[in-house]
Amino acid sequence: MENKIVEHTHHKQDHHDIDSICLSAQQVDTMPGYCWPLDISVDTELLLEGWFDLFRNLGHSYKSIVEMLRGDFVEKYKQLGNPTEPIAWDMNLTHYPELTGDDRWRKFRGTVEWIKDEGGDPKRASEILSEIKNTYLEQLIKTLFEHHAKTFNREFKGQLNVTWVGPGQRYNLHNDSNLYLRYHIPIITNPNAFWIFQDPVNVNKYYKMHMPLGSVWMLNPVDIVHTVVNQWDTARAHLLLSEFK
């Protein structure tokens, strides 16, 4: 049996018994061809240092900026008539050339559908935040750009953002048909924050996998149904580089 798109709307919970799926899922360290670690080393101390440097450069504390970003999604959920807590929220690290100030990292966020509804296009997010310059984040991003060019013989053109998945939250089971690929770099995580992948042949079989700190991952989000489950008491944060179709 071929795998299929299970759900597409990330921010409205589906009907799947995710607890039973998590309990029955087979633990794996990688999913070759679908999600696998790259041979790129990450200094976790420098990553966190660059992470907090970014917020200081933006003139905010980490706590205040997360509250602000999450608050935006609380309001978005209310507009959509969704009374639940936000599953996830994000922050743009790339922006449209015409945007200035806080709009650079605060506007046109969330799902592709949300972005398009606001008149945006994630493929236009071509400018990297100037506040990232001279931080370890910039160094790591450049390393990934070089890897991408060498591997695919093309320049990376896509969106960079940080995505938090809230404590006790999960996405729907889905695949991302609007992407070519996505790179993941864990920044704040715990083994209780993990991926669930549906077997591409047997849709009743699932795999469970954690992306640990200090690693860089390639995700093929098109050809496998997946979700993120955060059973930790802290929001999980990943740096994402997404190449859109």
Residue 153: CATH number of its domain: 2.60.120.330
Q: What is the pLDDT of residue 198?
A: 96
Residue 3 has pLDDT above 60, yes or no: no
Residue 133 pLDDT > 80: yes
Provide the residue type at 33 as one letter.
G
Confirm whether 211 is domain-assigned: yes
Residue 136 included in any domain? yes
**Residues 165-224: pLDDT tens digits?**
999 999 889 888 889 999 999 999 999 999 999 999 999 999 999 999 999 999 999 999
> What is the mean predicted confidence (pLDDT) over 86-110?
96
Q: Is 148 a domain residue?
A: yes
Cβ atoms of residues 181 and 220 within 8 Å: yes
Asked if residues 236 and 229 have their Cβ atoms less than 8 Å apart, the reply is no
Residue 8 resides in a domain? no
Q: Is residue 2 part of a domain?
A: no
Supply the pLDDT for residue 79. 87
Q: Give tens-digit pLDDT for 6-58.
A: 444 555 666 778 899 999 999 999 999 999 999 999 999 999 999 999 999 99
**By the 8 A CB rule, do 239 and 137 touch?**
yes
Q: What is the domain count for the chain?
A: 1
Question: CA torsion, points 240, 136, 95, 226, in degrees to nearest 10?
Answer: 0
User: Which of 1-10, 18-27, 61-70, 102-111 comes out lowest in average pLDDT?
Assistant: 1-10
The pTM of this model reads 0.92
Quote the Cα angle for 219-198-29, to 5°. Answer: 55
Look over the chain and give the mean of its residue pLDDT values, rounded to a whole number: 92
Q: Does residue 3 fall inside a structural domain?
A: no
Average pLDDT over residues 109-115: 90
Residue 145 lies in a domain: yes
Domain assignment present for residue 182? The answer is yes
Specify the pLDDT at position 2.
Answer: 43
What is the span of the domain harbouring residue 160?
18-244
pLDDT at 13: 61
Q: What is the pLDDT of residue 1?
A: 36
Region 136-158: mean pLDDT is: 96
pLDDT for the residue numbered 90: 97
